[in-house]
Amino acid sequence: MADNLLTITDQNFQDVISGDRPVLVDFWAEWCGPCRLIAPHLEALATEHPDRLAVAKLNIDENPQSPASYGVMSIPTLILFKNGAEAQRIVGARPKEWLYKNIKEHL
């Protein structure tokens, strides 16, 4: 996993999403093909916008509590948190440009 991506768990989830900048959380799993497809897009977003956006990955198989708390029913699901609250939800694999276009108003 790239250095610019955070790896989060159920234990530190609330601390991470309550940070100073918006956090895009990728709910994913190793076996998920579409999750692997969007991984480079998320790495690019984290690299291109490090002062405006944090990108975090949460493995749903290892951390089932947080996805259940936020009603994550399929993966990949991306939730953008701003000031600890959900600001945007994206379900499914999308191109990087589409992802940025749909979250930039919250950055």
Query: Which residue numbers are catalytic?
Result: 32, 35
- Locate the DSSP E strands across the chain: 5-7, 23-28, 54-59, 77-82, 85-91
β-pair partners for 5: 55
- What order of strands is seen across the sheet that includes strand 77-82? 5-7, 54-59, 23-28, 77-82, 85-91
